[in-house]
Structure formats: structure tokens, C-alpha cells
Amino acid sequence: MSWNTQILAWAAAATLGSGVALAQEMTFGGDEDQAYAADLWAVMADAKLVGEGMVRSFPYDGVAPHGMMLETFYTTASVNGHSGALVVKRNFGPEGVSIDEVLADPGKHLGAVTVMFQREDGYDPETQNWFWAKYLPDGTLDKNPKGMALAGLVGKNADVGCIACHSGEDDYLFTTDAMVGMAMK
């Protein structure tokens, strides 16, 4: 085997090996995460937290990556027989959007709905069992630039993403201690 052929063979093996390692490290966006996210969306729709006829609140100034204006709800929910803490954040834009514009036409300015749901013990103790999802306004899951659905352990073991950002907080929540005394464990 020539030197060039050996180098090409090594490079191909390294590429395939890294693909296997990447697949083993993928912590979000798989079929199971997408199915769970669909179940979670249905529960939120039944509770009028998303979709047609959703309850409204007064928007407040937000920051990237969520939105320039936000509405946030803290509650509990039951998904597939498990009750847990639920945080629903509606993300409005574009940059420069005002509170009055969001109040006048929230549907026009809703860019995404980001959600944290505390799953059953054992789901992922490292992240306090939080399940993360980013939905488009119609309930479909948003995707990252690589085409992976944003549901599950988004940003675990990464430098960017939901978990990577929120891991700086003891309870993974930036905005409030509202979950204290609720279903949080």
C-alpha cells in the first residue's frame, strides 16, 4: 500500500470513528426526544399555554438567545404519567419590537416557545432531570444548523445550547425562584 493510500485509509477511518463517537455523544433530538416533545406540546396546548386560545401575560424585555420580548409561565404538568415543574417561555421578536407591538399582535411577533420540563428521577440527574425543547409557534420542533431537533438534553457536554448556558445556575433557572415549593426536586 502506498504512503498516500495509507494516509487516505487512516483519514477515512478517523472520520468514520469520529462519526460513531458523535452519534454516541448525541444527547438530544432523537426519535424518543421528538416523541416526548410532541406529548409535552399536547399537554401544554390542553393547559392553554400554547396554541389557539393560549393565556396571555404582560411581556417583558428579554435577551438573546430567547427574544427581545418574553412571556414566561411557571407551573406543573403531567406528561406520560409523570408530574413535574414546567417553565414555558414565549420568545417574541424581531430586535427592536416594543411591548405595544407584541400586545397588539402577539401572533405576528412570536418567534419560538422554549420549554423546560423536569422529568422523572433518573432521566438525567446531572442536569436535575430537565428536558429542554424549542418549538416554533405551530408546535413543530426548531432545529439547529446541523438539522437536529431541539428537544431533550440540548447543549449537554457542549459549549453552547440550553444546558451549556443554564448550567451556571444551581437550579438551571435564571429568572426566578418561583419553582421553589412546586414540583422541583
Any idea how long the chain is? 185
pLDDT (mean) for 51-67: 90
Cβ pair 141, 135 in contact under 8 A? yes
pLDDT at 48 over 90: yes
Task: Provide the residue type at 150 as one letter.
Answer: L
Domain annotation covers residue 6: no
The Cα-based distances of 74 to 18, 29, 140, 167, 173 in angstroms read: 40, 24, 22, 19, 11
Q: How many domains does one find in the chain?
A: 1
Task: Flag whether 20 is in a domain.
Answer: no
**Averaged pLDDT for residues 138-159:** 91
Q: What confidence tens digit (pLDDT) does each residue in 74-109 have? A: 999 999 999 999 999 999 999 999 999 999 999 999
pLDDT, position 176: 63
pLDDT number for residue 134? 97
pLDDT reported for residue 19: 41
pLDDT over 90 at 118, yes or no: yes
The chain-wide mean pLDDT, for the chain, equals 82
Domain around 52? 27-166
Q: Closest by alpha carbon to 157, among 127, 122, 131, 117? A: 127
Does the residue 139 lie in any domain?
yes
Average pLDDT of span 11-26: 41
41 within domain boundaries: yes
Residue 17 lies in a domain: no
For residues 155-167, one letter each, b for 16 or more C-beta atoms within 10 angstroms of the residue's C-beta and e for the rest, the string is bbeeeebbbebbe
At 150 the pLDDT is 95
Q: Which amino acid is at 177?
A: D
Is 121 inside a domain boundary?
Answer: yes
Q: Which three cell numbers stand for residue 33?
A: 426526544
pLDDT tens per residue, range 37-46: 999 999 999 9
φ/ψ (deg, to 5) at 20: -65, -45
179 within a domain of the structure (yes/no)? no
Nearest CA-CA partner of 133 in 161, 155, 159, 152:
152
* pLDDT tier for residue 26 given thresholds of 50, 70 and 90: low
User: In the chain, which ranges are E strands?
Assistant: 60-61, 69-79, 82-92, 110-118, 130-135, 151-152
Q: What is the pTM of this model?
A: 0.80
Phi and psi of 114, rounded to 5°?
-105, 140
Task: State yes or no: pLDDT of 185 exceeds 70.
Answer: no
What integer pLDDT is reported at residue 154 of this predicted model? 85
